[in-house]
């Protein structure tokens, strides 16, 4: 029986140059005179390409990396061809390319599985996932594939090739190349691990590359303001309108506990009046969709009244003309300097200050603080809440009174 011919050819498209003037590199996989072509995520300067060698003749770094990539890809296609032969599968150019792209059910690839997971999560934004969570998954995939491309010289890898070495390399890559803090690294590693667990559950992966690898979060000392510092900011007169606005938004968050994205999207329908005439913010958190129930105190009421006729608010249908988070944090640093506060003020400092100083320091119970912050359990609230010296002193003074009776 005549053996059917299999070949892999690399070539460039001279007629369709990219914006940088380089030609895209393509590969043609042929089996039994039928072929499938793929455009690779690689390009080369036209004068450097040798069709005879199917490589770049350049000596520069990009040319060397391209040639390594071509060699590795050629080996991978021949390996897939041999695997299909050994498995007794029906062989075709399309079957070979499908396995390379991870479309073969038994040979899923890391990128495709991770991307499919992210796409499914994206469909559930607002129900099961917050937008920020899906963005974290997207960033995790982006950073992971950057590492794979750098260290393995490929754009993707078979799921079965994912091992403990890659997991440890990714941990190191996030710390050294992306300069992520320890807890940020752990969040990305948890994203990666979730996708791996999904692959194991679907029997696409037999060995767990995370086996024996543990990650530990570090306790972060979350900053908050004292009542005196809060009063200093609130009572400060600003001659610059943008600083006055940012101060007002910040103080509103200090007295409501709202996160930036929630105050940014705060609308009239989120404020309701109870039977006793008390105003409440009743709003699902953008991050978790958990409902916040927050009674409005006099200071946030004053701030809402101040901006009720603001043109931006009337146009956008919001209660406050909140600048973007980047501008808020930048201007808060100016406010801290002008008020003589030696702390790193951010929009989230307001939320921590609400939990610790406005609520807990004034004897509001932990479950009630959790309800106002929109936490599903008090365990989350404890990360925000700090025991203040004044509450310790107050409690111990009560103890002293009991002992002296």
For 265-317, write each residue's pLDDT tens digit: 999 999 999 999 999 999 988 877 788 999 999 999 999 999 999 999 999 99
pLDDT, tens digit (0-9, with 9 covering 90-100), for 111-128: 989 999 999 999 998 778
Confidence of residue 1 (pLDDT cuts 50, 70, 90): very low
Q: Is the dihedral of CA 314, 319, 325, 326 positive or negative?
A: positive
Nearest-5° angle of CA 104, CA 109, CA 111? 135
Lowest mean pLDDT among 166-175, 179-188, 211-220, 255-264: 211-220
Lowest mean pLDDT among 7-21, 217-231, 287-301: 217-231
> Residue 140 class from Cβ within 10 Å (0-12 exposed, 13-18 middle, 19+ buried)?
buried
- Which residue in this structure is represented by tokens 């107050």? 394
Average pLDDT of the residues in 343-361: 90
If you average pLDDT over every residue of the chain, what do you get?
89
Model pLDDT, residue 3:
55
pTM of the model: 0.59
Whether residue 382 has pLDDT greater than 60: yes
Nearest to 150 by CA among 136, 135, 168, 170: 170
Model pLDDT, residue 215:
83
Model pLDDT, residue 219:
65
Average pLDDT of the residues in 54-65: 94
Evaluate whether 266 touches 276 at the Cβ level (below 8 Å): no
Distance CA 276, CA 326 (A): 39
- Contacts for 52-56: CB closer than 8 Å, 24+ residues apart: 54/9, 54/10, 54/11, 55/10
> Residues near 165 by Cβ (< 8 Å), separated by ≥ 6?
none
According to the 3-state scheme, what is the secondary structure of the chain? Answer: CCCCCEEEEEEECCCCCCCCCCEEEEEEEEECCEEEEEEEEEEECHHHEECCCCEECCCCHHHHHHHHHHHHHHHHHHHHHHHHHHHCCCCCHHHHHHHHCCCCCCCCEHHHHHHHHHHHHHHCECCCECHHHHHHHHHHHHHHHHHHHHHHCCCCCEHHHCCHHHHHHHHHHHHHCCCCCHHHHHHHHHHHHHHHHHHHHCCCCCCCCCCCCCCCCCCCCCCCCCHHHHHHHHHCCCCCHHHHHHHHHHHHHHCCCCCHHHHHCCCHHHEEECCCCCEEEEEECCCCCCEEEEECCHHHHHHHHHCCCCHHHHHHCCCCCCCCHHHHHHHHHHHHHHCCCCCCCCHHHHHHHHHHHHHHHHCCCHHHHHHHHCCCCHHHHHHHCCCCHHHHHHHHHHHHHHHHC
Average pLDDT of the residues in 357-384: 84
pLDDT, tens digit (0-9, with 9 covering 90-100), for 90-106: 788 888 998 888 776 66
Model pLDDT, residue 115:
95
Nearest to 283 by CA among 297, 293, 296: 293
């Amino acid at each position: 029986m005549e053996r059917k011919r299999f070949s892999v050819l690399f070539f460039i498209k001279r007629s369709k140059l990219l914006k940088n003037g380089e030609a895209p590199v393509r590969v043609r996989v042929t089996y039994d005179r039928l072929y499938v072509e793929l455009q690779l995520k690689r390009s080369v300067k036209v004068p450097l390409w040798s069709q005879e060698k199917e490589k770049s003749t350049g000596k520069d770094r990009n040319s060397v990396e391209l040639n390594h990539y071509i060699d590795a890809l050629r080996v991978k296609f021949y390996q897939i061809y041999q695997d299909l032969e050994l498995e007794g599968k029906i062989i075709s150019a399309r079957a070979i390319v499908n396995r390379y792209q991870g479309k073969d059910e038994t040979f899923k690839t890391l990128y495709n599985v991770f991307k499919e997971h992210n796409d499914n999560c994206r469909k559930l934004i607002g129900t099961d996932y917050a937008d920020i969570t899906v963005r974290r998954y997207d960033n995790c995939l982006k950073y992971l594939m950057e590492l794979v491309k750098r260290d393995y010289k490929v754009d993707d890898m078979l799921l079965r090739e994912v091992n403990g070495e890659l997991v440890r390399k990714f941990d190191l890559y996030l710390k050294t190349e992306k300069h992520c803090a320890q807890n940020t690294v752990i969040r990305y590693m948890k994203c990666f691990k979730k996708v791996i667990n999904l692959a194991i559950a679907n029997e696409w992966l037999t060995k767990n590359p995370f086996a024996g690898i543990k990650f530990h979060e570090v306790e972060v000392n979350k900053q908050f303001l004292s009542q005196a510092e809060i009063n200093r900011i609130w009572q400060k007169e600003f001659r610059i309108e943008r600083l006055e606005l940012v101060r007002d938004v910040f103080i509103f968050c200090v007295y409501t506990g709202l996160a930036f994205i929630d105050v940014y999207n705060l609308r009239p329908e989120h404020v309701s009046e109870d039977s006793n005439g008390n105003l409440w913010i009743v709003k699902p958190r953008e991050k978790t969709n958990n409902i916040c129930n927050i009674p409005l105190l006099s200071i946030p009421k004053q701030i809402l009244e101040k901006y009720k006729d603001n043109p931006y608010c009337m146009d956008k249908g919001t209660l406050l003309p909140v600048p973007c988070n980047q501008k808020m944090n930048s201007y808060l640093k100016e406010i801290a300097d002008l008020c003589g506060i030696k702390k790193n003020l951010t929009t989230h400092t307001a939320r921590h200050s609400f939990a610790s100083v406005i609520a807990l320091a004034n004897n509001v119970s932990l479950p009630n603080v959790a309800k106002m912050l929109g936490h599903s359990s008090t365990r989350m609230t404890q990360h925000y809440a700090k025991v203040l010296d004044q509450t310790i002193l107050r409690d111990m003074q009560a103890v002293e009174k009991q002992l002296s009776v």
